[in-house]
Amino acid sequence: MFLRYRTLGFVFKKEDKGEADQIFKIFTKDFGKVEVLAKGIRKISSKLRPQIDIFYLSEIEFIQGKIYKRLIGAFCVEKFKNLRRSFKRLSIAYQTCEALDKLIKGEEKDERIWKLILEVFISLDKEKFKVCSLVYFYFFWKLASILGHKPELYFCCGCQKRPELKKVYFNPGEGGIICQTCFSRIKQGEEVSQNLIKILRIILEKNLEFLKKVKAREKVVEELKEISNSYFLFLTQNNV
């Protein structure tokens, strides 16, 4: 007799397996990140097929098999279909899911991550939404913070003092900003603008509704992209 598990989950990745199977990676409300095998789901006759897919919020039921968790039931609650109508939203959605996949290692329930996923996807799905370009960064930095990698943005990570000069550097290995003096000693890090630090503070301290009202110049968005990429690489390559 197998135990049946039932929960609500958001599908962030799917891969074909064998002739007609698929593996879904799902962040669930009650068990955190899980991988489930859906047998025969690519067959047209499959009852599960219309109920679960990438970017779906579905009620799922599964059992723990010898190797895989097996999906035995699914019911779609929300398809977020608007985000599929725009290439830009779709590419942000994929990028967001990539961060989710790479940064979360084990199976662990986390209410904050669950709420963050819903906040971001509900927002991405809305018709009128102007600051789409910042949504991914919002997700990435919030997720990194929840996972214990919130960057220090007020005090220098080298000397613990508030940087006196405006010139500061971001150093992923040190865990945040470093001042000019520490930079000349450590010799690692990227110079960042005051505007970049301001926007990062907003991302970390405010919610998405607030962030939507912020007008970010293209230059600072570019800078944000670079810093986010280097922090993402640091977190994934160093297995922290």
Nearer residue to Zn ion within complex by CB, 177 or 227: 177
User: Shortest distance, CB of residue 183 to Zn ion, whole angstroms?
Assistant: 8
User: Shortest distance, CB of residue 198 to Zn ion, whole angstroms?
Assistant: 20
Nearer residue to Zn ion within complex by CB, 177 or 208: 177
User: Shortest distance, CB of residue 196 to Zn ion, whole angstroms?
Assistant: 18
Q: Which of 103, 120, 182, 203 binds Zn ion (CB under 5 A)?
A: 182
179 binds Zn ion (CB under 5 A): yes
User: Shortest distance, CB of residue 228 to Zn ion, whole angstroms?
Assistant: 23
CA distances from 171 to 176, 190, 234 (A): 6, 7, 10
156 binds Zn ion (CB under 5 A): yes
93 binds Zn ion (CB under 5 A): no
Q: Which of 32, 158, 172, 189 binds Zn ion (CB under 5 A)?
A: 158
Number of residues lying near Zn ion (CB under 5 A): 5
Residue ranges in contact with Zn ion by CB under 5 A = 156, 158-159, 179, 182
